[in-house]
Amino acid sequence: MPDRRRFLQTTACAALLGSAGAARALSVKPAMLNRSIPSSKEQMPVIGLGTADTFNASPDDAAAMAPLGRVLDIFTQEGGYLIDTAPSYGQAEAVVGALLARQGTRRDGYFLATKIGAHGRESAMDQIRQSQKRLGRDKLDLIQIHNLIDTRNQLALLRELKQQGVTRYIGITHYTDSAHDELTELVEREKPDFLQINLSVGARNAEKRLLPACQANGVAVLINRPFQDGALFRQVKGRALPELAAEIGCTSWAQVFLKFIIGHPAVTAVIPATSKPANMADNAQAGFGRQPDAALRERIAALLA
């Protein structure tokens, strides 16, 4: 596989600054922190882009697409390239496909992750074919079984598709603590390439058994719901940033919350979703600079105890 970060950063900066300016920018801008995908050792930036709710727009609505295009531009310029989506996210796959179509040669540098949420082989294949069409990609990077729907049958299907080259990786997803016990058993028994789960400073159940199981079995971890659907921001509304924020280079609560997640050694990437360019720029900064160690993570958690 090509060096995605170098490819995307170079072309993005060149488009904005010209080739000479891009070379200067790349020479001084630090790279976003990467983590290794255990099953392949491929490197991945720790900040990805989620699309649930936020990218559910009409691809033909120019006013709605403009800020989403800017979100993608900022994400790319900061070194990100993992985009997570799903057929169940309304028009999100179509929006991602439309935005990538505007990227020209850069479009092949993105790591596209989608999902299947269906019972039975044919229904799952229908979803996959639809995802390929919407995303404009015959070969997908990651297909995940959404929310444990028909897991046994769909794992067998995804393994076939991986052998056929339809997808590079396979995974399983969920978004609630109640699924963690079952997911732990699946990780230990099935050892998928990826697991996508919820984790945040206010919802740490995954740290008990599930994340250690992923580390022990070589499973990459994507984190959804990093802000608990906005609940964390409501909890700290009006509060000044704590002094510890400066210790890890954070200038916002969002960065503190994201670095808390990235600081766990089992985490490969976190995928906050946003439709606002300013939030994308803010989120991306969590991928740079010092990350919290175990002790500092506990100090962060104590702020919301």
Average pLDDT of the residues of the chain: 93
Which pTM does this prediction carry? 0.92
Euclidean distance between CA atoms 54 and 71, whole angstroms: 11
- Is residue 19 pLDDT above 80, yes or no? no
Backbone angles phi, psi at 293, to 5 degrees: -85, -175
pLDDT tens per residue, range 193-213: 999 999 999 999 999 999 999
Euclidean distance between CA atoms 3 and 86, whole angstroms: 25
pLDDT tens per residue, range 240-264: 999 999 999 999 999 999 999 999 9
| Of the candidates 195, 224, 200, the residue with the CA atom closest to the CA atom of residue 210 | 195
pLDDT tens per residue, range 40-61: 999 999 999 999 999 999 999 9
Q: Can you list the alpha helix ranges (DSSP code H) found in the chain?
A: 4-17, 19-28, 62-77, 92-101, 121-135, 151-164, 180-190, 210-217, 231-235, 244-247, 253-262, 277-284, 294-302
Euclidean distance between CA atoms 47 and 262, whole angstroms: 9
Q: Could you tell me the CATH superfamily of domain 4-302? A: NADP-dependent oxidoreductase domain (3.20.20.100)
pLDDT tens per residue, range 129-145: 999 999 999 999 999 99
Euclidean distance between CA atoms 48 and 292, whole angstroms: 19
